[in-house]
Amino acid sequence: MSLLIKIRNMKFHKLKLAGAYVVELEPLEDSRGFFARAFCENEFAAAGIPFKVSQMNISSNRHKGTLRGLHYQLGDAAEDKFVRCIRGGIVDVIVDVRPGSATFLEHEMVELDERNRKAILLPKGFAHGIQTLSDESQVLYLASAPYAPKFERGLRWNDPRLGIRWPLEPAVISEKDQALPDFDPAYHLK
């Protein structure tokens, strides 16, 4: 992870998958605790990262080992996402599903938790999933486009072609996520 740029209250670190970043807060601390800017459209733009917020979502997870994903949307419904764990801890996994990308179907895994205060920014064309590392975790994420079920796609969490090594044996997975198919260009890219 290399430092791209520090803009006022945020540090942007490039990941190996082009367009993806880990974003660190620069907290201002005193005897009360701290204050930090968690997101700023202007600071993102100053770092060369355009991001418009259309939707804010929260995922509350009761049990350690809960797995959600790997989800994304196609075409005009594709989303940039900015993801932060605000309670407990998670591992966030992103998969490049951009045809023609040098890192097509490669993935990265980043640990996010309430203590490290890191966030991950992923651009359109990435599948996204999380696994909780603690009970009672909460994840807050911003999306650049509204959810469009017709354009929703997903990769199976244990697709052998992806080779993702999740940190825990999944304890809870929805039926919908269990039924996601292995990668097939006819389904996943159209």
pLDDT computed for residue 2 by the predictor:
62
Indicate the SS3 state at residue 13: strand
pLDDT computed for residue 3 by the predictor:
59
Angle ∠(90,91,92) on CA atoms, nearest 5? 110
**Catalytic pick from 21, 72, 107, 141?**
141
Strand 66-73 to strand 55-61: parallel, antiparallel, or no bridges (unpaired)? unpaired
Cα separation, 49 vs 60, whole angstroms: 28
**Catalytic pick from 71, 107, 128, 188?**
71
Q: Per residue of the chain (190 residues), what is the pLDDT tens digit?
A: 565 667 677 899 999 999 999 999 888 889 999 888 889 898 899 888 999 999 999 999 999 999 999 999 999 999 999 999 999 999 999 999 999 999 999 999 999 999 999 999 999 999 999 999 999 999 999 999 999 999 999 999 999 999 999 999 999 999 999 999 999 998 888 8
pTM higher than 0.75: yes
Catalytic residue list contains 63: no
Catalytic residue list contains 71: yes
Domains of the chain: residue spans and CATH: 53-188 (2.60.120.10)
Q: Which DSSP helix (H) or strand (E) runs through 44?
A: helix 41-46
- Across 154-171, b (16+ Cβ under 10 Å) vs e yields bbbbbbeebebeeeeebe
Residue with tokens 């292995």: 182
Q: What is the DSSP letter of 181?
A: P
